[in-house]
A and B are shown apart, each in its own frame.
Chain A
Amino acid sequence: SQQGEEDPQALSIQEGENATMNCSYKTSINNLQWYRQNSGRGLVHLILIRSNEREKHSGRLRVTLDTSKKSSSLLITASRAADTASYFCATAGMPSNTGKLIFGQGTTLQVKP
């Protein structure tokens, strides 16, 4: 079963602009993670935010988590053409110590040079 929805499904921006993607989920979580997937490749982990954290930064990435609204957002600042990829949120649910992840459907980001 899929945990939730990602919004928008597709996003097209110019290089240098910021990109914001949103993720909603349904059940209580231990953490929420964001992954990136280039076309036809595996997933690469970007950032993990725990349920007791509200915001986290990594380079040009900023992730927020609102557990009361069961939602998260990923902001990519000063985007580059190389950021073109699909981005997925994934949740590790509670109670669970299995490492299982439930994925959203993803946002496809296109950054135009």
Chain B
Amino acid sequence: DGGITQSPKYLFRKEGQNVTLSCEQNLNHDAMYWYRQDPGQGLRLIYYSQIVNDFQKGDIAEGYSVSREKKESFPLTVTSAQKNPTAFYLCASTPPAGWNTEAFFGQGTRLTVV
């Protein structure tokens, strides 16, 4: 089955720790995205990548970092600089001509600071 796999489903972070969220897709999509969702809110864009080895900041990139070494993978690191990281994180991808096509989403990772 083609799709987007996010892992882990639940993640707990201690104060001052960096954690990495995994996102893998086998849809052969070029573009991938990371969104953050807070309770009762819509999604906000953290980072996106349209091609391997290239990525751009979204609206709320501070305290996050990404890499795109492979087409299939777009991991997100939540650094200790992110002051309020508790949220639901969603990874998405779009096929070529992504500006006029639907986005495909993973099932999300819920990150909690303990």
Taking Cβ atoms with an 8 Å cutoff, the residues of A that contact B are: 1-2, 30-31, 33, 35, 40-45, 48, 50, 88, 90, 92, 96-106
Contact = CB atoms under 8 A, between A and B. Distances in A.
- Which of B41, B42, B92, B101 is most buried by chain A, counting CB atoms within 10 A of its CB? B42
B27 to A, nearest CB: 13
Contacts of B58: 100
Given A40-B110, A42-B107, A43-B90, A99 B42 contact: no
Interface residues of B, number: 33
A35 to B, nearest CB: 8
Contact of A1 (B59, B98, B100, B107): B59
Interface in B74-104: 88, 90, 92, 94, 97-104
Nearest to A94: B99
A31 B105 contact: no
B107 A88 contact: no
Contacts of A103: 35, 42-44
B28 to A, nearest CB: 15
Contacts of B106: 42
Contacts of A104: 42
A2 B44 contact: yes
B48 A100 contact: yes
Contact of A88 (B4, B6, B43, B48): B43
Nearest to A102: B45
A112 B21 CA distance: 36
Nearest to B32: A99
A44 B56 CA distance: 24
A98 B99 contact: yes
Contacts of B35: 103
24 contacts: A1-B59, A2-B44, A33-B102, A40-B88, A42-B90, A42-B105, A43-B43, A45-B103, A48-B100, A88-B42, A88-B43, A96-B99, A97-B98, A98-B48, A98-B50, A98-B99, A99-B31, A99-B48, A99-B98, A99-B103, A100-B58, A102-B45, A105-B41, A106-B41
A88 B101 CA distance: 16
Nearest 3 CB-CB pairings of A with B: A99-B98, A103-B42, A42-B105
